[in-house]
Structure formats: structure tokens, C-alpha cells
């Protein structure tokens, strides 16, 4: 019985915890769809499931590359499809979990991703431009070329902004118009977790404090000692970027923590551009006392209907 269950929603809302409960209840295995949890040695700042959680249920596509290695949506998609096939062969339920919209939708919608070779000279030129004039200038440039693509990219995500501009430079087309969608050959149930803004921000702030208490500063120091410099895309991630600023002496720790919280609030708002509350493909559930039972009931009905239609 081939299918896919996806758990989506903004950061810090509890997707990982829910996915473990679902996988345990429905004979499932978890596939990571968080673009930062793919990196080794970046555990605390990415809110990666603990070793105990990973041992409770099989997890896939965590810790698959080093922080200085390149990766792409196309590579992620191919890897995810391979894992889904293996889970299907084992007669288990694949549970795709994460808040990285490109990763999630590339799998569910079957994106035909443009095979555009990297132009390193062009990238270096944009990198220098960003260092001189700021990232937002490049983001504004992308917004003028392709507002649709820009609306789905964090204005601080320099790597993705450069890639979108590179695709336009190499092809002459808007990046958003080059992604055809073929879908997947099996039913998909998409569960969305949401909360009102005040509650979501509270969850984000509490998680940030836990990250610091759990040793986020030491994790960043360890990464630097291993030779992973501040200029790497992986080190520009939320949390790491702000702690690097603190370690460089440009901000005190309290200010860095507040900056993490503020930037994560903004990032969470941006995630709703990928996972829209009005998207009727997503069954949304507000986080609350009875959320897990409601979701389990929804998944059970989904699986029963699949068996009935076999």
C-alpha cells in the first residue's frame, strides 16, 4: 500500500515530536525535510531530533553531508524518492517532516527541477556585490525579475537568492516558470500544524532559550575549530549566524539571543508563504490539547480508505 504522510508548518511548532508519535502509531519511518538538519555536527541550532528520538523510530536524510559540502533541492528530491521507495518495499508508511518548503513541495508535487550548471564566476560576483551593498539589494533585484520566486525566499538567504539569479542569468527565464510539476504516483496526506502568532512566538522563544542552555555557543565554537568558517552557507543558518556575531565581539550574548528570536519569528511568518492556510491540500490543525488524537483519527481514516480502494 503505497502512500505518503507529510507533516508541515512553521518552525518550533512541534512537527518532529508529532512525527515520531505518528510513525510509532502507524508503522512509519521518518524522512527529514529540513534543509539544515542534513548537516553533520549541527544538532542544537537546527533542533535536530535527539539520538534517543532517532533510535525510537527510523529517521532518514539527517546528517548526510558536512557543513562545507554543497547540496541542492534536486539532490534532496532524488534522495527522498529513493528512501520513500525503500520504505514502501518494507510495507511501511513514509512520514515526510519539515518546514523547508522547497524540499517538501519538490517531493509532493514532483518538481521537474531545471538542470542549470553552476556559474562560479557569476556567483562570486553576486557574493561580492552582497558584501559591498548588502543582501537585500540582490533580493530586490530578484523581486523585480521574478516576484513569485522572491516571495518564496527568505530575504536573508543569500545562497538561494544567488541561485535564483543564476538560473535567470543562464536561461533568460524566470526561475518560477521553469519548475514543471508531475506529482507522485501515490496518495499523499498533508497534515499542517499551526498556532496563533502569540503562541507560536512563545514556542520559538522557549526553544531558543533551550538551545542556548543546551550548548549552542559551544556547538558554534566546535564548528569553527573544525574549520567550518562563517562564510559557509550552512553557518549562515538561524542561530549560528547570530552566535558568530557574538563570538566576533560585535554583539553581547543577550542581544544575540534576542536577535535569534526576532529573526526566527520573521522566518516563521515567511514559512506561511510556502504552507498557506488557504491551501486545501493541507489539513490544518491548531496546536492544542486534543491535536494528536484528531490527527491520528485523520491518518487512520486516510489509511483505511486506501485499503478499501485497493
Q: Is the domain of 170 the same as that of 185?
A: no
Range of the domain at 139: 120-177
Q: Are residues 87 and 9 in the same domain?
A: yes
Angle between helices 120-133 and 158-171 (to 10 degrees): 130
Is residue 20 domain-shared with residue 75, that is, in the same domain? yes
Q: Which three cell numbers stand for residue 7?
A: 507533516
Average pLDDT of adjacent 10-residue blocks, the chain of 310 residues: 95 97 97 98 98 96 96 94 98 97 96 84 92 92 94 85 93 85 95 97 98 98 97 94 97 98 96 94 93 96 91
Q: Are residues 78 and 136 in the same domain?
A: no
Could you tell me which of 153, 111, 35, 99 has the C-alpha nearest to residue 275? 99
Q: What distance in Å separates the CA atoms of residue 214 and residue 151, rounded to the nearest whole number?
A: 34
Find, among 22, 19, 26, 25, the residue nearest to 1 by Cα.
26
Per-residue confidence (pLDDT) for residue 223, from 0 to 100: 98
> Are residue 38 and residue 138 in the same domain, yes or no?
no
pLDDT digits (tens, 9 = 90+) for 102-147: 999 999 999 988 778 889 899 999 999 998 989 999 999 999 999 9
Q: What is the pLDDT of residue 159?
A: 84
Q: Which three cell numbers stand for residue 109?
A: 508535487
Quick one: cell of 18?
508529532
Q: How many CA atoms lie within 13 A of 74 on its CB side?
A: 9
- Model-level pTM? 0.88
| Residue 50 DSSP class | P
The predicted-structure confidence for 114-123, as pLDDT tens digits, reads as follows 778 889 899 9
Domain count within the chain: 2
Q: Tell me, yes or no, whether 142 and 286 share the same domain.
A: no
Distance from C-alpha of 144 to C-alpha of 135, rounded to nearest angstrom: 15
Looking at 177, 207, 226, the residue that finishes a domain is 177
- Are 186 and 160 contained in the same domain? no
Residue 303 confidence (pLDDT): 96
Q: Kindly state whether residues 186 and 140 are assigned to the same domain.
A: no
Q: Give the span between the Cα atoms of 138 and 146, in whole angstroms.
A: 12
CATH of the domain at 10: 3.40.50.300
CATH number, domain of 151, equals 1.10.20.140
Amino acid at each position: 500500500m503505497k502512500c505518503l504522510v507529510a507533516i508541515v508548518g512553521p518552525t518550533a511548532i512541534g512537527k518532529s515530536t508529532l512525527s515520531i508519535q505518528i510513525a510509532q502509531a502507524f508503522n512509519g519511518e521518518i524522512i527529514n525535510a529540513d534543509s539544515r538538519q542534513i548537516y553533520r555536527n549541527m544538532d542544537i541550532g537546527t533542533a535536530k531530533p535527539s539520538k534517543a528520538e532517532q533510535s525510537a523510530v527510523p529517521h532518514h536524510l539527517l546528517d548526510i553531508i558536512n557543513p562545507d559540502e554543497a547540496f541542492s533541492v534536486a539532490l534532496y528530491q532524488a534522495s527522498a524518492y529513493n528512501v520513500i521507495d525503500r520504505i514502501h518495499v518494507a510495507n511501511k508508511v513514509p512520514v515526510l517532516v519539515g518546514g523547508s518548503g522547497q524540499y517538501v513541495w519538490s517531493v509532493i508535487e514532483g518538481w521537474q527541477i531545471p538542470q542549470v550548471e553552476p556559474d562560479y564566476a557569476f556567483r562570486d560576483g553576486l557574493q561580492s556585490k552582497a558584501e559591498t551593498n548588502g543582501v537585500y539589494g540582490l533580493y530586490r533585484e530578484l523581486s523585480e525579475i521574478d516576484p513569485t520566486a522572491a516571495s518564496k525566499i527568505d530575504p536573508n538567504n543569500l545562497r538561494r537568492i544567488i541561485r535564483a539569479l543564476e538560473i535567470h542569468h543562464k536561461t533568460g527565464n524566470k526561475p518560477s516558470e521553469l519548475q514543471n510539476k508531475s506529482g507522485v504516483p501515490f496518495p499523499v496526506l498533508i497534515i499542517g500544524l499551526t498556532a496563533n502568532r502569540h503562541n507560536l512566538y512563545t514556542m520559538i522563544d522557549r526553544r531558543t532559550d533551550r538551545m542556548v542552555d543546551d550548548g549552542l555557543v559551544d556547538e558554534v565554537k566546535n564548528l569553527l575549530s573544525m574549520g567550518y568558517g562563517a562564510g559557509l552557507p550552512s553557518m549562515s543558518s538561524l542561530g549560528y549566524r547570530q552566535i558568530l556575531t557574538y563570538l566576533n565581539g560585535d554583539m553581547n550574548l543577550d542581544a544575540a539571543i534576542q536577535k535569534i528570536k526576532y529573526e526566527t519569528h520573521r522566518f516563521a511568518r515567511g514559512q506561511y508563504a510556502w504552507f498557506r492556510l488557504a491551501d486545501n491540500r493541507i489539513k490544518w490543525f491548531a496546536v492544542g490539547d486534543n491535536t494528536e488524537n484528531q490527527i491520528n483519527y485523520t491518518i487512520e481514516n486516510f489509511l483505511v480508505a486506501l485499503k478499501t480502494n485497493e
